[in-house]
Amino acid sequence: MENAANRPILILHNGVIVTMDQSSRVFRDGAVVVAGDRIEAVGPSAQILRDFSHLATVDSVVDLRGRILLPGFVNTHVHTSQQLGRGIADDVDLMTWLHKRIWPYESHMTEEDSYLSTLLCGIELIRSGVTCFAEAGGQHVSGMARAVEELGLRACLAKSSMDTGDGLPANWSACSTDNCIQSQRELYTKHHNTAEGRIRIWFGLRQIMNASDQLLLKTRDAAEELKTGIHMHVAEIPYENQLVMSTRKVEHGTVTYLEKIGLLRSNLLAAHSVWLSDAEIGFFAKADVKVSHCPASAMRMLGFAPIKEMHEAGVCVSLGTDGAPSNNRMSIVDEMYLASLINKGREAYTSGTTNPTVVPAVTVLKMATIDGAKSVLWDNEIGSIEVAKKADLIVVNPFSWTMVPLHDCISSLVYCMRTENIDSVMCNGQWIMKDHKILRINEEEIVSLAIQAADALLKRAGISLPERMNYL
């Protein structure tokens, strides 16, 4: 490692350091040294100050005053392009949601819309402690990349690819299989490893009902060749499995078919994965497929995902918010709380007896940190506070009515913490939010521009929402 003395040094001390490393170490009065974009040291405050304070300038020694320092959260399934569509599809059935609201909305987006939508979404991600996210797949990856660069976040961006399926908007159904692959290869060449290495480009498959066999296979091979990931919605609704069984002649649904064609690999991030048989959970475990569990979105649109069973089988499960029209809240803090409650509730419902021990707080915190990092294939550099990893850190202030008294730090982070408890966020060694202020973009201006862009987009897409109230 490069000599720390040659890089700017920052010492954060007198905090509770929740490392999320393999031994789950927590330092009650701990410190972290950041040198450039990486973590140089972690340990008890007294020892760190003794060893490193001679290297730091006075203003680069930060007293955390008992606050909690965590690795940044990883949101493994978010549609940044859908942020301008928040509220356009509340309380509607799935087909109305997709055909009458989301597809018209997304197919009328410009690159500038996508850029603004990602900036708006990024504000909410940062405020909820997210330092890295996996884009579920939109149309204008270059717009997303520009926003991610400015926000200072880390991301795995993907283009949503579709080459078949009923009811697609005209400009999408024109996309041939080869065009789908070629355009993603070009995005990879242009954006992969840009923004100081914060941006990676993945391949995206919207879902099996919009993918020909050729698209599935060519995506599998291109991702393998470029050593990158594939992000895909998998086994979302029973109808999807039924369609796969009847058209692709397999015993169960999507997962069985993906196993048959060799698409289940360790670089597949399978979003939702709600309707899986026991055998299919076994396929995931064997192939080291990663799952993004989106509790709020699943409750609203899809159903109960078998998270307890996946954990028991050894599947790596992380957390996602999904997009704004399926959840409305893009806070991974809320998803942590929901992940525990929903899976305890599901256990009572399916087993006929209560069992509050399932999906405990420590498991949920792993899902939001180190298992999120594994899911986006970046765990060698992020997901825990360890020497030589990237400095992606968040400072949580627990001294407010939402979290006191603090008897058990880990429990409090999952069951009590609100988004507002997150004070500061660092990504790649740079503060991107400090004392609740987003630093790299003008938040007020983005909010104002986003309101205008959303109005114009809905008009262009011909989406008119029914009035639910008789406004005076």
Taking CB under 5 A as the criterion, which residues in 120-149 touch Zn ion?
Answer: 136
Least distance (Å) from Zn ion to the CB of residue 271? 5
Least distance (Å) from Zn ion to the CB of residue 77? 6
Residue 302 makes contact with Zn ion by CB under 5 A: no
Pick from 223, 343, 320: which is nearest to 271 by CA?
A: 320
Q: Judge residue 6's burial from the number of C-beta atoms within 10 Å of its C-beta, 0-12 exposed, 13-18 middle, 19 or more buried.
A: exposed
* Closer of 136 and 195 to Zn ion (Cβ): 136
Least distance (Å) from Zn ion to the CB of residue 93? 17
The whole-angstrom separation of Cα 226 and Cα 455 is 39
Specify the DSSP class assigned to residue 465. P
Give strand pairing partners of 35. Answer: 9, 38
Binding segment (CB under 5 A) for Zn ion, from list 210-218, 222-230, 316-324, 400-408: 316-324
Binding segment (CB under 5 A) for Zn ion, from list 58-66, 103-111, 202-210, 318-326: 318-326
Least distance (Å) from Zn ion to the CB of residue 78? 8
Least distance (Å) from Zn ion to the CB of residue 98? 11
* Closer of 69 and 232 to Zn ion (Cβ): 232
* Closer of 136 and 270 to Zn ion (Cβ): 136
50 close to 100: Cβ distance less than 8 angstroms: no
Give strand pairing partners of 199. Answer: 155, 194
Least distance (Å) from Zn ion to the CB of residue 207? 9
Least distance (Å) from Zn ion to the CB of residue 102? 10
* Closer of 322 and 371 to Zn ion (Cβ): 322
* Closer of 134 and 215 to Zn ion (Cβ): 134
Residue 330 makes contact with Zn ion by CB under 5 A: no
Residues with Cβ within 8 Å of residue 311, at least 6 apart in sequence? 317, 359, 363
The whole-angstrom separation of Cα 436 and Cα 206 is 35
Taking CB under 5 A as the criterion, which residues in 216-235 touch Zn ion?
Answer: none
Residue 359 makes contact with Zn ion by CB under 5 A: no
Amino acid identity, position 164: T
Q: Judge residue 303's burial from the number of C-beta atoms within 10 Å of its C-beta, 0-12 exposed, 13-18 middle, 19 or more buried.
A: middle
Least distance (Å) from Zn ion to the CB of residue 76? 11
Angle among Cα 170, 171, 174 to the nearest 5 degrees reads 85
* Closer of 76 and 267 to Zn ion (Cβ): 76
Residue 394 makes contact with Zn ion by CB under 5 A: no
Residue 363 three-state SS: helix
* Closer of 136 and 162 to Zn ion (Cβ): 136
Residue 89 makes contact with Zn ion by CB under 5 A: no
Q: What is the DSSP string of 398-462?
A: --STTT-S-S-HHHHHHHT--GGGEEEEEETTEEEEETTEE-SS-HHHHHHHHHHHHHHHHHHHT
Q: Closest residue to Zn ion, Cβ-based?
A: 136
Residue 342 makes contact with Zn ion by CB under 5 A: no
Binding segment (CB under 5 A) for Zn ion, from list 108-116, 314-322, 337-345, 377-385: 314-322
Least distance (Å) from Zn ion to the CB of residue 220? 20
Binding segment (CB under 5 A) for Zn ion, from list 61-69, 243-251, 322-330, 379-387: 322-330
* Closer of 37 and 322 to Zn ion (Cβ): 322
Least distance (Å) from Zn ion to the CB of residue 137? 8
* Closer of 124 and 322 to Zn ion (Cβ): 322
* Closer of 253 and 429 to Zn ion (Cβ): 253
In 64-176, alpha helices (H): 94-95, 103-107, 111-127, 141-151, 170-173
Residue 305 makes contact with Zn ion by CB under 5 A: no
Residue 281 makes contact with Zn ion by CB under 5 A: no
Least distance (Å) from Zn ion to the CB of residue 317? 16
Residue 158 makes contact with Zn ion by CB under 5 A: no
The whole-angstrom separation of Cα 284 and Cα 288 is 6
| 3-state DSSP of 244-306 | HHHHHCCCCCHHHHHHHCCCCCCCEEEEECCCCCHHHHHHHHHHCCEEEECHHHHHHHHCCCC
- Binders of Zn ion: how many residues, by CB under 5 A? 2
* Closer of 20 and 301 to Zn ion (Cβ): 301
Q: Phi/psi at 445 (nearest 5 deg)? A: -65, -40
Residues with Cβ within 8 Å of residue 356, at least 6 apart in sequence? 344
Pick from 19, 4, 9: which is nearest to 386 by CA?
A: 19
Binding segment (CB under 5 A) for Zn ion, from list 317-325, 366-374, 382-390, 397-405: 317-325
290-293, strands of its sheet edge to edge: 73-78, 130-135, 154-158, 199-205, 230-234, 268-272, 290-293, 316-319
* Closer of 205 and 391 to Zn ion (Cβ): 205
Least distance (Å) from Zn ion to the CB of residue 233? 5
Pick from 242, 245, 217: which is nearest to 161 by CA?
A: 217
Pick from 44, 41, 46: which is nearest to 10 by CA?
A: 41
Given the rule CB under 5 A, which residues bind Zn ion?
Answer: 136, 322
